[in-house]
Amino acid sequence: MAISDHSSTANCGSGDGSAGNHHLISRPEYVPNHISDPSYVRILDTTLRDGEQAPGAAMTTEQKLAVARLLAHLGVDIIEAGFPCSSPESFNAAKAIASEVGCQPLFADGHVPVIAVVARSNKKDIDTAWAAVRHARRPRVNTFIATSEIHMKHKLRMSKEEVVKTAAEMVAYARSLGCADVAFAAEDAGRSDREFLYHVLNEVIKAGAGTIIIPDTVGYNLPCEFANLIADVKKHTVGAIIATHCHNDLGFATANTLAGAEAGARQLEVTINGIGERAGNAALEEVVMAINCRRELLGGLHTSIATRHIMAASKMVAEFTGLYVQPHKAIVGLNAFAHESGIHQDGVLKFRGTYEIISPEDIGLSRSNESGIVLGKLSGRHALRARLLKLGYDINGKELDDIFVRFKEIAGTKKNFSNDDIKALVNHENVQFQGIWSLGDLQVTYGTNGFCTVTVKLISHNREEKIACSIGENPVVAAYKAINDIVEIPVTLKEYVNSAMEGIDALASTRIVICVDSNDTTVQNCPTFCGSATGKDIVISGVQAYINALNKAMYLKSSSVKISSS
């Protein structure tokens, strides 16, 4: 059966040649306080500032430059390059980004992002910020001060009047340095008194702020609350772009960001992989792909993000920060496009749109198998057969049934099946020969004298159980001796080959050849039988291979078939 093409997936991302290719989109000319296209949403990436504030996420200047280049390739409108006053390294990194990434186009599309840096509302911070960023083609200073009662009282220890005065004066001061693009963030706006918040925002707009940022600093707001907040800010202010900056303390960062965009925000502040303070920030990949996928429900909003570079950005940030993505993370997690349930696998193999709303190609993901099928204990025959076909095995009927039974037996204790594991199931005769004996139990005891003791329980075709114990220099040899004591057939081991696939969860495959004595005991005429088996344990696979070979020999003998070499 052919695997469905990715075009069968819902039209989310770059499949239409637009969202994934920002050079094909008409990006509005950048004006600090105005966007000519009312449906266009600016994306500010703060991975290099708020993202780096996550514990243990610090990056070197060289790493920050590499991330900034990739963010420019990704098509973000604004790169927040850091907090220059926090350390000399932060200053140097921000300055390097402004001078390289923010000065001329690095890629064929000609896009040069705005380079922004953060400063507290004091002259020292603003001077340092401006010195770091002033050489960019489009420099921006983002200044901030808290506006919530709890912050003003316990952190700033300032009155409302002092906060308003400081905020307006520092925006004006940044403008006086020659910075034409100043943004102001009302820290903890989500818990601020509304009337006071409106007052502060209008004063900073008068002082020259082109963007007003409404942060849910501690991730406190519900989406409905945050949407109402943005709508009210839009209603009570004029002359500036409204921006969101949402944290994920209650898991609402992406939802709040989208709610804010729907309510009128036209700059969304995000990070790659959602990294940031505490529980992190709104994730760029989630916000952008949600806008792409549900554009019709968001009033036709759109961005210029080249989504095909999302996976590259995700991997780079994870590698540089050491903050690796959890497998179930939306969009970029290892399992985001993986299917193990038999019902889901059957649907995806028939039509990918049944369980995939995004094409993995749209975010630059190349899967090891194009269907995203992960074989495990929940998988069905359809998925196993599809993988076999991909590997070149056109197996059906009873042969497929037998392999599927063996697959299910192993899958009960094995988390993942690689292609090599599947090949082993087929190539090494892993379907147990239906003979006289089957393995009931195996116990291995090790000692300090170089020998081990193995106890084997075999079960006959009529359910009789027999147990034997033997000692050998290794558990396989000891087990074979115990089995010989049970079956009472003179057997000589002629060949033993064991191999294991790579990985901690890999299968061990064993192939053995035995010689069974007959009336003619000459070496040339001694009949041989081959047995193979695959399992998670090297000893068990060896024992099972031995039993399979013995069963062949005993079946032929009990059926009065002349024993001959095999």
Residue 310 has φ and ψ, to the nearest 5°, of -65, -45
The one-letter code for the residue type at 410 is I
Residue 220 has φ and ψ, to the nearest 5°, of -90, -30
Residue 417 and residue 369 in contact, taking contact as beta carbons nearer than 8 Å: no
Distance, in Å, from the CA atom of 388 to the CA atom of 551, rounded to the nearest integer, reads 27
As given in the structure block, the two tokens for residue 543 are: 């024992």
Residue 230 and residue 265 in contact, taking contact as beta carbons nearer than 8 Å: yes
The one-letter code for the residue type at 129 is A
Closest CA to 220 of 191, 184, 258: 191
Structural domain 437-558, CATH architecture: 2-Layer Sandwich (3.30)
As given in the structure block, the two tokens for residue 363 are: 């975010």
Distance, in Å, from the CA atom of 164 to the CA atom of 183, rounded to the nearest integer, reads 15
pLDDT of residue 522: 47
Closest CA to 321 of 268, 280, 368, 367: 280
State the Cα angle at 246 between 242 and 251, rounded to 5°. 145
Q: SS in 3 state form for 194-206? A: HHHHHHHHHHHHH
Class of CATH domain 37-321: alpha beta
**pTM score, whole prediction:** 0.71
Residue 14 has φ and ψ, to the nearest 5°, of -95, 10
Distance, in Å, from the CA atom of 459 to the CA atom of 464, rounded to the nearest integer, reads 6
pLDDT of residue 186: 98
Contacts of 521 (CB under 8 A, 6+ apart): none
Distance, in Å, from the CA atom of 227 to the CA atom of 219, rounded to the nearest integer, reads 14
Is residue 8 classed exposed, middle or buried when 0-12, 13-18 and 19+ CB atoms within 10 A define those classes? middle
Handedness of CA 9, 14, 15, 16 (dihedral sign): positive
Handedness of CA 394, 400, 403, 406 (dihedral sign): positive
pLDDT of residue 122: 97
A 10 A CB-CB count for 306 gives 24
As given in the structure block, the two tokens for residue 244 are: 């969101």
pLDDT of residue 521: 44
Residue 184 has φ and ψ, to the nearest 5°, of -125, 130
pLDDT (tens, 9 = 90+) of the chain, 566 residues, equals: 333 333 344 456 543 333 344 444 579 999 999 999 999 999 999 999 999 999 889 999 999 999 999 999 999 999 999 999 999 999 999 999 999 999 998 887 899 999 999 999 999 999 999 999 999 999 999 999 999 999 999 999 999 999 999 999 999 999 999 999 999 999 999 999 999 999 999 999 999 999 999 999 999 999 999 999 999 999 999 999 999 999 999 999 999 999 999 999 999 999 999 999 999 999 999 999 999 999 999 999 999 999 999 999 999 999 999 998 998 899 998 877 776 566 666 665 676 777 788 888 899 987 655 456 667 667 777 778 777 777 767 777 887 877 777 777 666 666 666 666 676 677 544 444 456 888 889 999 887 777 889 999 999 888 889 999 999 888 999 999 999 999 888 888 888 887 765 555 567 778 888 887 755 444 455 667 777 787 778 888 889 889 888 887 776 665 443 433 34
Q: What is the CA radius of gyration of the chain?
A: 33
pLDDT of residue 503: 56
Residue 25 has φ and ψ, to the nearest 5°, of -90, 145
Delimit the domains of the chain by residue range: 37-321, 342-358+367-425, 437-558
Distance, in Å, from the CA atom of 90 to the CA atom of 92, rounded to the nearest integer, reads 6
pLDDT of residue 405: 78
Distance, in Å, from the CA atom of 549 to the CA atom of 532, rounded to the nearest integer, reads 8
pLDDT digits 0-9 by tens, 220-253: 999 999 999 999 999 999 999 999 999 999 999 9
pLDDT of residue 537: 81
Using the structure block, give the residue that is written with the tokens 């990294």.
Answer: 275
As given in the structure block, the two tokens for residue 361 are: 């190609």
Residue 304 has φ and ψ, to the nearest 5°, of -110, 25
Query: In 321-451, which ranges are E strands?
Result: 437-446
